[in-house]
Chains A and B, each alone.
Chain A
């Protein structure tokens, strides 16, 4: 019962979280990967020891490739970022690096600006599309739970919770991008979309129970019904998320570099997704219901 009763606390926490996230997104900006901005990324590993970054920088600057960022990675590795390189420039770059020591090229990406722009556009469309489809689906699935709150509002509240769920990881990644050079790449977008799909799971489980309890007339009013429904489903909400978090932790620690931050984004998203479906989505339904009845009383 406590969860619905103390809903103002959760609203405050979530509100602050969203505000802080938005602040860090706008203040730090997003550290977008070359998949979105276009550019080149070369990862190399020196066979012996890695020379000083300044030495590599010096050598490469002879090529006049514009802005170059050199980032040491692991024991002997180095990641070099630059504008979109042609194959000739790529070869010239390799030559310059080899003049600083023998190395292996592990990975090279070069992405033209048009492809980057397209991907950005597609990502935005995809996020909007997922959100809209979820509202529609929930509205459809809960069409029979039309009283006392319309099914469309269930969808709307689920999406309100979703916005909260994705703002948090984006905000955290803005900070990680600023201080640890973590980039937002296409996998991050994938993670966000997956979080959208997953965190609505838990919300649906609670909504489903509210629907059932309303049908059985459990609880003396809407607020109590919602409170009871949350209490009845809280263990399964947490447990279903726990199993997902377990596998994600395994991915984060053992899954290798490629998907490390992908799993981190998912972990953050699933965590806040579970929080919001318990503490946000359903209490919001109650608030919405109260606003609605107040209006009716006034009228």
Chain B
């Protein structure tokens, strides 16, 4: 029994520690252990956009590259907003179809963005690649690239493609640019006029490379050599190739959530959780008395474990996810109820209390296992059905089912055994209901 008491104390201390960690970010956000919950779009406010990419014009084997190129372009554009934790992901529709026939989509989530019009405009806009020449009238101390270089007619519109090559002798990475006919002519003219001067390549208004022109280039091909690492060169090539969106995209779905709505949803979710917990606690204590109290204690530890896991994994909390957690609180005690009812039954059959406790746990196990498996099946399928809202619910419910098997069985059994009740006098008969 001493052993059970020690373990029980450890459970309680662990519960307190976890609970402390769960709320630490509210009281001392600067602490190194403070980690806020990850809130979903519906709780933080923001924009959820779904774009469809038109892949009809490219070869099936190039779709993968084109989509990741598209993703990169959009990611770069979105980073201009300074959005924290944007989500940009490629999604393919139609499981049974071959890659070429699948619909290719991009899902973009921008938490905290309220100016949707601006966001949509910036995402949809063609990224701007341009070549600029030195501004001879700029002062020599000028630091601003926008003043050092003047725009020319040559833009990404004329770029046919960029490729990465390595110099045969020095193994230096080189980026090759190939313009189309019209671009080639402009480029020839530009290089002719700017020999031994810099030409700056700007992407979305920021210089990405400033090579020196060595001679006139009539071929419509340019190369950028510089002090890149191969990786940098490769990134540059990818960026140049995706300078213009590699695929036309169209917005097929959007969802905007105002920040006030998100906040309201969060506070009402928390409030519902607290009330729900209190109701369940009252019921358990009134109906099962001492064992009920222990179930409540186990339930509180359960809740701290759940919140801890949400931070650790991390689980993105949505309104539905919070609902899943609250529902799981109601379901977590199911196992306890099954056990306690079984205990009562064993005692009615004349078994002594310690034996009834052991029997109760042992006999109830099969129905607990079987019924929890059915909830797990549902959670997994729901996760698969998943829009982000449903996924949040399925995840919290699924984790809840797993954790509750531990809390309702291991934790509450330890507590019950730690009490070491013999339970034959009137008072303990009352306590054990």
Smallest CB separation, A14 vs chain B (Å): 21
Whether A123 contacts B385 in the complex (CB less than 8 A), given A112-B252, A247-B327, comes out as: yes
Q: Does B237 contact A (CB under 8 A)?
A: no
Contact of B377 among A137, A233, A249 (CB under 8 A): A137
B324–chain A nearest beta-carbon distance, Å: 9
Q: Which residues of B contact A244 (CB under 8 A)?
A: 327, 330-331, 334
Do residues B330 and A246 form an inter-chain contact, with CB atoms below 8 A? yes
- Bound Cα distance from A91 to B50, whole angstroms: 18
Q: Which of these binds chain A: B26-34, B202-210, B270-278?
A: B270-278
Tell me if B373 is interfacial: C-beta within 8 Å of chain A: yes
Contacts of A247 in B (CB 8 A): 276-277, 279-280, 326-327, 329-330
Binding site for A on B (CB under 8 A): 42, 50, 52, 93, 103, 116-117, 120, 251-258, 260-261, 264-265, 268-269, 271-273, 275-277, 279-280, 283-284, 287, 319-320, 322-323, 326-327, 329-331, 333-334, 337-338, 341, 345, 363, 366-367, 370-371, 373-375, 377-379, 381-382, 384-385, 387, 389-390, 393-394, 397
| Residue in chain A with minimal CB distance to B121 | A87
Q: A108-B255, A141-B370 are in contact. Are A126 and B319 (CB under 8 A)?
A: no
List 19 A–B pairs whose Cβ atoms lie within 8 Å, in order of A's numbering.
A87-B120, A90-B254, A106-B258, A109-B253, A109-B254, A112-B253, A114-B252, A122-B385, A126-B382, A126-B384, A134-B377, A141-B370, A186-B389, A190-B393, A208-B370, A209-B367, A240-B337, A244-B334, A251-B327
**A298: shortest Cβ distance to chain B, in Å?**
35
B381→A263 contact, CB < 8 A = no
Known: A105-B258, A108-B116, A253-B275. 6 other contacts (CB 8 A): A126-B385, A190-B390, A243-B330, A247-B326, A251-B276, A258-B42
Could you say which residues of chain B place their CB within 8 Å of the CB of A263?
323
Q: Is A272 an interface residue (CB 8 A)?
A: no
Residues in B whose Cβ lies below 8 Å from that of A189: 385, 390
With A122-B385, A197-B375, A239-B287 known as contacts, the answer to whether A106 contacts B323 (CB < 8 A) is no
B390 adjacent to A204 (CB under 8 Å):
no
From residue A218, how far is it (CB to closest CB) to chain B in Å?
12
Q: Is the CB of B255 within 8 A of A115?
A: no
Most buried by B among A109, A201, A209, A262: A201
Interchain CB contact (< 8 A) of A248 among B50, B327, B366: B327
Are A254 and B341 neighbours in the complex by a CB distance under 8 Å? no
Could you tell me which A residues sit within 8 Å of B by CB distance? 35, 86-87, 90-91, 104-112, 114-115, 118-119, 122-123, 126, 129-130, 133-134, 137-138, 141, 186-187, 189-190, 193-194, 196-198, 200-202, 204-205, 208-209, 212, 232-233, 235-236, 239-240, 242-251, 253-256, 258-259, 262-263, 266
Q: Which of A205, A245, A246 contacts B371 (CB 8 A)?
A: A205
Inter-chain CA distance A193–B269, complex, in Å, is 21
A201 touches B268 (CB 8 A): no
Contacting pair B382 A205 (CB below 8 A)? no
Tell which of B42, B265, B331, B387 touches A198, judged by Cβ atoms closer than 8 Å.
Answer: B331
The reply to whether B319 and A197 form a contact with Cβ atoms under 8 Å apart is: no
- Assess the B268–A256 pair: CB atoms within 8 A: yes
| Minimal Cβ-Cβ distance residue in B for A110 | B254
- For A109, give its contact among B255, B273, B370, B375 (CB under 8 Å): B255
Q: Which of B50, B273, B327 contacts A266 (CB under 8 A)?
A: B327
The A interface is mostly helix, strand or loop, or mixed, namely helix
User: Which of chain A's residues has its CB closest to B394's CB?
Assistant: A190
Given A186-B390, A243-B284, A255-B268: A208 and B367 within 8 A (CB)? Answer: yes
Residues in B whose Cβ lies below 8 Å from that of A235: 341
The one of A107, A208, A262 in contact with B366, judged by C-beta atoms closer than 8 angstroms, is: A208
- Whole-angstrom distance from the CB of B106 to the nearest CB of chain A? 13
Q: Which listed residue, A138, A201, A259, touches B320 by the CB 8 Å rule? A: A259
> A136–B274 Cα gap in the complex (Å)?
37
Once the chains are docked, how many angstroms separate the CA of A250 from the CA of B268? 10
Quick check: B258 and A201 within 8 Å, CB to CB? Answer: no
B319, A256: Cβ atoms closer than 8 Å: yes
Inter-chain contact A250/B327, CB cutoff 8 Å: no
Contact indicator B337/A134 (Cβ below 8 Å): no
B377:A250 contact, CB within 8 angstroms: no
Residues of B within 8 A of A251 (CB): 272, 276, 323, 326-327
Residues of B within 8 A of A194 (CB): 327, 378, 382, 393, 397
Q: How far is the CA of A232 from the CA of B93 in the complex (A)?
A: 50
By a CB distance below 8 angstroms, the chain A residues around B390 are: 186-187, 189-190
| Docked pose: A248 CA to B272 CA in angstroms | 9
How far apart are A157's CB and chain B's nearest CB, in angstroms?
14
Query: A200–B374 Cα gap in the complex (Å)?
Result: 7
Contact between A87 and B367, CB atoms less than 8 A apart: no
Contact A243/B275 with A204-B374, A205-B371 known, Cβ cut-off 8 Å: no
Cα separation A157 to B92 with both chains bound (whole Å): 38
Cβ contact of B261, chosen from A106, A193, A253, cutoff 8 A: A106
